[in-house]
Amino acid sequence: MLEMRGITKRFPGVVANDDVSFDLRAGEVHTLLGENGAGKSTLMKILFGLYQPDAGEILLQGRPVTITSPTDAIEHRIGMVHQHFMLVPTLTVAENVALGLPSMRRPFTDLDTVSQRMVEISDQYGLTVDPSIEVWKLSVGERQRVEIIKALYREAELLVLDEPTAVLTPQEVDDLFVILRQMTEAGRGLVFISHKLREVLDLSDRITVLRNGVVTGTTVPAEASLERLAEMMVGREVSLAPDKPPVATGRPRLVLEHVTVIGDRDTVAVDGVDLEVRAGEIVGIAGVSGNGQRELAETIAGLRPAEPGSSVQIDRADVTTADAATTRAAGLAYVPEERMKDGAIGEFDVGENLLLVNHRDPSFLRGGLFDFERIRLHCQRLVDAFSVKTPTLQTPTSSLSGGNIQKLILARELDSDPTVLLAAQPTRGVDIGAAEYIHGQLIERRSEGVAVLLISEDLDEILALADRIAVMYEGRIVQLVDRADATREGLGLAMAGAADRSPG
Amino acid sequence: MQPQSSPAPAMSTVRVVRNLVVLLVALAFVAAACGSDDEEASNVATSECGTDSSFDEATEPVTDLSVAIVAPSASQDLAFTQSMVDAVAALGIEPQITDGTFQVEAAAEAIRGYADSGVDVVIAHGTQFGGSLAEIAPDFPETSFVWGTSSETQGLDNVFAYTPAADQGGYVMGTVAAAISESGTIGMVGPIDAGDAALYVDGFVAGAESAGANVNVSFTGSFGDVPLATEAATAHVGAGADVLTGTAQHVVGAINVASANDIPWFGTQANQESLAPELVVASQVYHWEVVLADIFDQVEAGTLGGEVYELTLENNGLVIEFNGCYELAEDVKNGALETIDGIIDGSISTGA
Amino acid sequence: MSDFFTLSVLVATFASGVRLATPYLLAGLGETVGQRSGVLNLGVDGVMLLSAFGAYWTSLETGSLLLGVGAGLLVGLVMGVVYGIITVIFQAEQGISGIGIYLFGLGFSDLLFEEMVGTPTPIKSLPKYSIPGLSRLPILGEALFEHNLMTYAAFLLVPLVALLLMKTTFGMNVRAVGENPEAADSLGVSVGLTRFAAIMVGNGMAGLAGAALTLGLGIFQPNLTQGLGFIAVALVYFGAWRARGVMLGALLYGIVAAVVLQLKARELIPLEASDLAAMAPAVLTIVALVVVAGRIEAPAALTNPFSRH
């Protein structure tokens, strides 16, 4: 039904799509696989009329078409579920669906009719959602349903789903896949964009891999494996399951007792969390984001006050009320979730960011002023040791890739020889190569006797690295299991709040 | 100086509208001048009702000095700024004018700009410009700055200060207002309780009270907020006032309320007859030219400042201009003249 | 105080507050529509000055109040085109552009007045129109139903603006482009056109506000608004971007001002406290703004120009 031929799209300084060809048949799921920046989203934005290609053509049902705006795309029965939802939070579900469509009751909206048809579509696919509720009150999964309903309401025959599973719990992913299969059975064609290999193999009929704007191959799941797909994405062999040597665990180095934290919206974000992380182990905190992980991490790092009665200890030192500097001095290294907001200063250059936490260190001073030569050597050593790819130490940090920024932060944090490493979403949005490297670093520190607390939404990452796994839901640890006893399904249920509330 | 008849006013010609007011004010001067043959002091004038008169354009300039005016409101605000613009014009001088500088920073720019361009006398017409002047004046020792209203020169020897004894005219008009009020309640709309507005209010209240009437005073907190002045006047009428007065340029709104309710009005700063030709009883008009003439003489003689000038009934800087169209009982008017004499000879205290 | 708490005084005070509130309400309602679309216009005061002058001059020359209102509206719409070109087509920074519009309006209305009129000349002001029947109601009659037509229009526009925003396709588009323009764009809603139209509504109403001000007073003078338009913008925040909220804000401001004036006219406020009391409307409004508006979020895309890349 769709053919894109020889699509080329250049942005200043980068070729996002280089002679890319892609096709889709009715009734199939054709996955576009690639790392961040490989050109998947660009290709689909071209299809949706948000970008114009510099070269190439698009054929629908065999006829060449020009798509210059989303309106054109919608007219051609192309729908798109964007990675960042294209929803207006203050509008109701029905209003979001009706937006941009002609109303039968001009100049007034006709939300009753819209709601009615919406419910019909919902029933058909099991996409239950209340049309009269405002979108900001919906969960992430529900919002995604609204996005799909929007496309179906416009009678989309071809639906593009841009990283639709990134924000979902495993159960929600399963539900989504059921819906998507129903849609293909009804003869619709789906383009599925993802970098999660397991899901891709699970759902796809065909898989096309992009790397640096170029198609590196098209395959079918029967002929592919996780390793093969990863290799096509990265361009070299990668180890997806890092080797984890057995390590004897030591005494508890990070101890949380009844930690309760109030969040930004004056609600209880972390609700009485008890947890200890021993020397030589990695404890993973799984959970859908927004369940208190960020607040917990900030509290441990001394960036957010805990409520009275809470206790945070690092190597037996009470740091419950300590500030960030004191907490660091007690032995904590912290890789924050928002690397560009909390982890590094984009306008600062690489060297300056490396020096951020220890710029008061007297060994960098000479006569009260910075000893720039010594600092340069120190920074160069870190950049080399952690293979941060940067043209110079003076390069503005914001111009590095996500993976390199993360390596830079890791380099800075691990340089202080911490006893506790708190890593929040350390590989989110990071290319596979860098993720591999970061994972290796976490395991290495574990072997050295560091207590590692890993917070991640990526269940695969948790399962690959953690020795014990805690699941956070609505501010509490609802499940705490050894890796050996953990199953993807059990964790998924716990993440969705369905687990037994008693931890253990 | 004989009035000449002017062409009939044509509203379509905007210039004429504008000039009309100039003429009306000028008419007052003319009338004042004409009345001077009955040995009456020229601190009182009565306009001739219903006449359209013109007067000889500019008189011979009294000085060759170049003059600039910086003022906070419009040149033809029928109030504070206009009083100064008219005064300079009455001396036959064509000044450079920067008006509407209600922002002090803008005014300071203008003052410095004039001094910098070599203007001999810069008139900073606004109490609020004092701070800026204290910074600017020492930078231009060859320039004479004239600043008011103020009763001191801030110790700067190239600054002349001027201030109107607005309480004097206020007192006189207060007695007249009390005489024509039947309810004994008079409404006053002022800007803020400071400067010549406060003097006028104090004098008017004292005058009215000496004649047995009560004055309710509203300060609106603003010089230019016409809606507030309108509602303030409306509130006064509701509270039983049957005579209204006010000061600052926002009174145009209050005068409209007087018109709508057929209530007599007393004006100050400039002649406000044009706004309510039937209802303005009298206006206390500032004739800065009296002190300006002296100041220009001093500048020409080489003294650039250091003195404070006061407009009073005695030096004819304050003129009570009665509206010929308003029929004021003869005994009331004579009483006013006696009050003026009493203030001049000191037998009456305005309380200010 | 007994002087003040009599029925007739309270009624007169309320009526006075309603009159004072009228231009704030008209300008605030218009600005609400504009801001809901994501466009802040700090130039409301300048637009009001220009349209007030246009309305005044037209009335002065023709003697027709109706033509005056039309002129005010027209000037507002012309300024809407200007502001739309600046902020939607050229995507200029809105705060600075608005201040530019204000300064232009302030200076140009002054210049036009000096050149074309010269001195404040009274014109016929908008007559009061008692609504038959309703104006006879005890208490409410005088307070609510003896006003000029622009005041009625302003209050009638409150439900109409709410209806426009909440129940029409245009209003839905306005809210969408003010909150998430990318989403609206992805569904084929033209962000530019919608914002331009919202700006036209906003400026048209600022034009009516200017006309209501000058024709209600029957006079014009330079800087007639004295920053009224800025308070109207603040009232949009106070009113949490809702027509009814803006109305409550305008009424609060107008009635507090009217109460203060009424108390002064009855010598119930000592002269020494007079200047202080004059600040009450602004202070109360700011306090209300902090208390109320702190809780409600502005349209997410307010002041953000939109482009696809």
| Relative orientation angle of helices B251-261 and B226-238, to the nearest 10 degrees | 40
Q: Choose the mutation target among A68, A71, A90 for the interface with C, i.e. most C CBs under 10 Å.
A: A90
Residues B251, B265: Cα–Cα separation, whole Å: 10
Q: How many residues does chain B have?
A: 352
| C 222-251 residues with CB < 8 A to B | 222-224, 226, 228
Q: Cβ of B284 under 8 Å from any chain C Cβ?
A: no
Q: Cβ of C167 under 8 Å from any chain A Cβ?
A: yes
Contact indicator for C221, C17 with CB cutoff of 8 Å? no
Is C133 within a domain?
yes
Q: How far apart are the first and last CA of chain A?
A: 52
Is C299 within a domain?
no
Q: Residue C276: its pLDDT value, please?
A: 81
Q: Cβ of C294 under 8 Å from any chain A Cβ?
A: no
CB contact under 8 A, A86 and C183: yes
Residues of chain A with C-beta less than 8 angstroms from the C-beta of C300? 89-90
Residues of chain C with C-beta less than 8 angstroms from the C-beta of B77? 119-120, 221-222
Q: Residue C293: its pLDDT value, please?
A: 63
Residues C125, C113: Cα–Cα separation, whole Å: 18
Residue type (1 letter), C88: V
Secondary structure of C206-253 as H, E, C letters: HHHHHHHHHHHHCCCCCCCCCCHHHHHHHHHHHCCCCHHHHHHHHHHH
Residue C185 distance to chain A (closest CA, Å): 7
Q: Do chains A and B touch (3 or more CB pairs under 8 A)?
A: no
Is C293 within a domain?
no
Backbone angles phi, psi at C124, to 5 degrees: -60, 130
Q: Which of A51, A100, A108 sits opposite C187 (nearest CB)?
A: A100
**C-alpha dihedral over B336, B339, B345, B349, to 10 degrees?**
-140
Q: Which of A126-135, B126-135, C271-280 has the lowest mean pLDDT?
A: C271-280
Fold of A252-495: Rossmann fold (3.40.50)
Q: Cβ of C180 under 8 Å from any chain A Cβ?
A: yes
| B 220-239 residues with CB < 8 A to C | 220-222, 224-228, 230-232, 234-236, 238-239
Residues of chain A with C-beta less than 8 angstroms from the C-beta of C307? none
Read off the pLDDT of residues C188-202 as tens digits, 9 standing for 90 and up.
899 999 999 999 999
CATH superfamily of B11-25+54-165+287-312: Response regulator (3.40.50.2300)
Read off the pLDDT of residues C68-111 as tens digits, 9 standing for 90 and up.
999 999 999 999 999 999 999 999 999 999 999 999 999 999 99
> What is the gyration radius of the CA atoms in chain A, in angstroms?
25
Do the domains B166-285+324-345 and B11-25+54-165+287-312 match in fold? yes
Q: Choose the mutation target among B19, B25, B81, B218 for the interface with C, i.e. most C CBs under 10 Å.
A: B218
Q: Cβ of B191 under 8 Å from any chain C Cβ?
A: no
Q: Residue C236: its pLDDT value, please?
A: 93
Q: Residue A503: its pLDDT value, please?
A: 44
Residues of chain C with C-beta less than 8 angstroms from the C-beta of A100? 173, 184, 187-189
Q: Residue C295: its pLDDT value, please?
A: 67
Residue B152 distance to chain C (closest CA, Å): 24
Those residues of chain B that have pLDDT short of 70 are 1-41, 50-59, 352
What does the domain layout of chain A look like in residue ranges?
A: 2-234, 252-495
| B 325-344 residues with CB < 8 A to C | none
What does the domain layout of chain B look like in residue ranges?
A: 11-25+54-165+287-312, 166-285+324-345
- pTM: predicted TM-score of the whole model, two decimal places: 0.80
Q: Cβ of B246 under 8 Å from any chain C Cβ?
A: no
CB contact under 8 A, A106 and C169: yes
Is C201 within a domain?
yes
| Per-residue DSSP letter, A30 | E
CATH superfamily of A2-234: P-loop containing nucleotide triphosphate hydrolases (3.40.50.300)
Residues of chain A with C-beta less than 8 angstroms from the C-beta of C185? 70
Residues of chain C with C-beta less than 8 angstroms from the C-beta of A266? none
Q: Cβ of C183 under 8 Å from any chain A Cβ?
A: yes
Query: Closest-CA residue in chain B for C223?
Result: B224
Contact indicator for C180, C52 with CB cutoff of 8 Å? no
Residues of chain A with C-beta less than 8 angstroms from the C-beta of C188? 69-71, 74, 100
Q: Cβ of B105 under 8 Å from any chain C Cβ?
A: no
Residue A351 distance to chain C (closest CA, Å): 31
Cα–Cα distance list, A259 to A264, A271, A304, A316, C259 (Å): 16, 7, 12, 16, 53
**CA neighbours closer than 13 Å in the CB half-sphere of residue C12:** 22
Query: Which is more confidently placed, A292 or A503?
Result: A292
Residues of chain C with C-beta less than 8 angstroms from the C-beta of B263? none
Residue A340 distance to chain C (closest CA, Å): 21
Do the domains A252-495 and A2-234 match in fold? yes
pLDDT tier at A169 (50, 70, 90 boundaries)?
confident
Read off the pLDDT of residues A194-206 as tens digits, 9 standing for 90 and up.
878 888 999 999 9
CB contact under 8 A, B100 and C20: no
| C 35-74 residues with CB < 8 A to B | 60-61
B166-285+324-345 — its CATH code? 3.40.50.2300
Q: Residue A421: its pLDDT value, please?
A: 93
Residue C167 distance to chain A (closest CA, Å): 6
Residue type (1 letter), C306: F
Q: Cβ of C268 under 8 Å from any chain B Cβ?
A: no
Q: Cβ of C307 under 8 Å from any chain A Cβ?
A: no
Kindly list the partner chains of chain A, i.e. chains with 3 or more CB atom pairs below 8 Å. Answer: C
Residue C38 distance to chain A (closest CA, Å): 13
Residue B334 distance to chain C (closest CA, Å): 31
Read off the pLDDT of residues A201-246 as tens digits, 9 standing for 90 and up.
999 999 999 988 899 999 999 998 888 888 888 888 777 777 888 8
Sign of the torsion angle spanned by Cα atoms C155, C160, C165, C167: positive
CB contact under 8 A, C186 and A82: yes
Residues C39, A334: Cα–Cα separation, whole Å: 40
Buried b (16+ CB within 10 A) or exposed e, C194-231: bbbbbbbbbbbbbbbbbbbbbbbbbbbbbbbbbebbbb
Q: Cβ of C116 under 8 Å from any chain B Cβ?
A: yes
Q: Residue A247: its pLDDT value, please?
A: 86
Mean pLDDT of A288-305: 90
The total number of structural domains in chain C stands at 1
A105-109, A188-192, C134-138: which has the highest mean pLDDT? A188-192
Read off the pLDDT of residues A60-87 as tens digits, 9 standing for 90 and up.
999 999 999 888 999 999 999 988 889 9
Name which of B29, B87, B43, B84 is nearest B314 in CA terms: B43
Q: Do chains C and A touch (3 or more CB pairs under 8 A)?
A: yes
Residue type (1 letter), A117: R
Residue C122 distance to chain B (closest CA, Å): 6
Q: Cβ of C112 under 8 Å from any chain B Cβ?
A: no
Read off the pLDDT of residues C226-238 as tens digits, 9 standing for 90 and up.
999 999 999 998 8
Q: Residue B36: its pLDDT value, please?
A: 41
Residues C96, C300: Cα–Cα separation, whole Å: 19
CB contact under 8 A, B235 and C16: yes
Read off the pLDDT of residues C154-168 as tens digits, 9 standing for 90 and up.
999 999 999 999 999
The two most distant CA atoms of chain B are separated, in Å, by: 57
Query: At CA B182, angle to CA B202 and CA B204, rounded to 5?
Result: 10
- B50 CB-contact burial (10 Å; exposed 0-12 / middle 13-18 / buried 19+): exposed
Residues of chain A with C-beta less than 8 angstroms from the C-beta of C176? 88, 91, 95, 99
Residue C72, domain extent: 22-232
Q: Cβ of B79 under 8 Å from any chain C Cβ?
A: no
Read off the pLDDT of residues A337-375 as tens digits, 9 standing for 90 and up.
877 777 788 778 888 888 777 777 777 777 777 878 888
Q: Cβ of C306 under 8 Å from any chain A Cβ?
A: no
